[in-house]
Amino acid sequence: MEARPPPERGSLKIILTSLSSVLTSLDCILSFHLRSSWFWLASSDITPAEEREGARCITACLSPLLRSGRVEAEMPPPRTGRGLLWLGLVLSSVCVALGSETQADSTTDGLNVLLIIVDDLRPSLGCYGDKLVRSPNIDQLASHSLLFQNAFAQQAVCAPSRVSFLTGRRPDTTRLYDFNSYWRVHAGNFSTIPQYFKENGYVTMSVGKVFHPGISSNHTDDSPYSWSFPPYHPSSEKYENTKTCRGPDGELHANLLCPVDVLDVPEGTLPDKQSTEQAIQLLEKMKTSASPFFLAVGYHKPHIPFRYPKEFQKLYPLENITLAPDPEVPDGLPPVAYNPWMDIRQREDVQALNISVPYGPIPVDFQQKIRQSYFASVSYLDTQVGRLLSTLDDLQLANSTIIAFTSDHGRQSMDLVELVSLFPTLAGLAGLQVPPRCPVPSFHVELCREGKNLLKHFRFRDLEEDPYLPGNPRELIAYSQYPRPADIPQWNSDKPSLKDIKIMGYSIRTIDYRYTVWVGFNPDEFLANFSDIHAGELYFVDSDPLQDHNMYNDSQGGDLFQLLMP
């Protein structure tokens, strides 16, 4: 790789990402659950100038897809859109759409909510400028929404991230850093987004992977607190990690790469197909309901393993698949920040490669196959989203429904936002009272929120602006964190249990910089010791956009970090 000079230093304003620098040569291939996610919100309160600009931007975004007949031939066409304003976030995504008949001069009242949660979806989408990935349905929805380019998850692991944004609390408040505790018992009896809507007259329903299943949601997906009915899980979920992948040897394996003939897999279906069908049935039932609904639909793909209908692989010939653009370990990356991707290594096809731990590179041809299957999984997911949104249109529910689209692990706006803002923003868009800001500490407070209210981006004239939302983009800061069991990579570095957490990485992200400190952590008392700094990272995003040059040792180190903590 051609050597690049380190960036020039600027004034020490600081940033934080969800540990994008923990990734190395596999950055573009394997970092989808550790790096970027995004957040969209939409409203009908749109000016003609904004509509023209949005149309110009999305036309440029979609033109590679529109020029290719293969999308239309092999994938269902995108649904028709409405006059909505769009917002997207990078690092966990949410897309909210208000119907075009919503009154612009008052708060919305009685709107339904469709919350779509996608597992490990990075912004590899046409609407984010990716010219290879074919995602016409999501792109069409995005074309009518307000896009944020800088949005951040608060932790880059499924259970902690979902509990964080569904409660509106940060991981240090939920005290969930792994998969092995239930926040209502372990930290506090915190209200959730669906619970708040349920308590305000909504029928709340869960389909697929919304909360992470298991202990972290009390083995009930937080029922009965959050849901009016028992949550639905597709029966074929149990086969996701079993030997259902036909290998080159003709035998079945538990592989990372798993294109399948759907008719040949157990039950003749896949989890996301079942979830879409169940969600469609619920929408049909709610069409005549006197109460508004809150329907959350959680999709598994593109989470590993890449188990998807094999016909989607044809959209991405291997000769068209490029490699990650930045394959080297960043200069000065501390070992504690490196992710050894142990979950990937457990798959049979990866084990067969005999890759050295922790820094051994994946063979180039297998890298291409990984990227091919990831993109194919995204396109498969896109068809499921398209079916869901088409049903909303067919039932004439689109004009009365807020659509939120998010991934647990971005009109164009460079303002930094966080996923913990989903709770207050959805409540405000639906016309409910926005929960108050949390005091410090807030373990005894059931209903409050730590995220900012983003309603100002929707320009509702009668809605009170959050006084905690700064007007200057350079005043905005996003926070995230990630636990580690040791200073060097080991078998449980990517997913340590609470008892094994010895170090916590805290990141601060501003428009200009990303700043991370790795500090000692006491898992028994849930305390971080900022005087016990194990390592640090500082990247100047403007001059070093790929964050390859760690300037931490040239800075003032960890002294500034505590001044900026929320």
The two three-digit tokens of residue 316, written as one number:
């991405």
Contact by Cβ (8 Å): 418, 479 = yes
Contact by Cβ (8 Å): 89, 37 = yes
CA distance 360 to 357: 6
CA distance 431 to 155: 29
CA distance 381 to 490: 33
Helices and strands counted in the chain (H then E): 14, 15
Catalytic residue among 57, 158, 245, 448: 158
**Roughly what angle, to the nearest 10 degrees, separates helices 271-286 and 364-394?**
10
Calculated CA dihedral for residues 199, 110, 146, 193, nearest 10 degrees:
10
β partners of residue 293: 203
The bridge status of strand 112-118 relative to strand 293-299 is: parallel
Catalytic residue among 212, 233, 300, 409: 212
* 158 assigned to active site: yes
Contact by Cβ (8 Å): 97, 145 = yes
Of 477, 378, 465, which Cα lies nearest the Cα of 420? 477
CA distance 4 to 18: 24
Query: In sequence order, which residues have a C-beta less than 8 Å from that of residue 297 and are 6 or more positions away?
Result: 114, 115, 116, 117, 207, 208, 210, 275, 276, 279, 388
The two three-digit tokens of residue 395, written as one number:
């039932």
Torsions phi, psi of 31, nearest 5?
-95, 15
Torsions phi, psi of 400, nearest 5?
-120, 20
The beta-carbon contacts of 213-219 under 8 Å, at least 24 apart in sequence, are: 214/159, 214/179, 215/179, 215/180, 215/181, 215/182, 216/159, 216/160, 216/163, 216/176, 216/179, 216/180, 216/181, 216/182, 216/183, 217/159, 217/163, 217/182, 218/182, 218/184, 218/185
Peptide bond into 136 cis (omega under 30): no
Active site residues: 158, 212
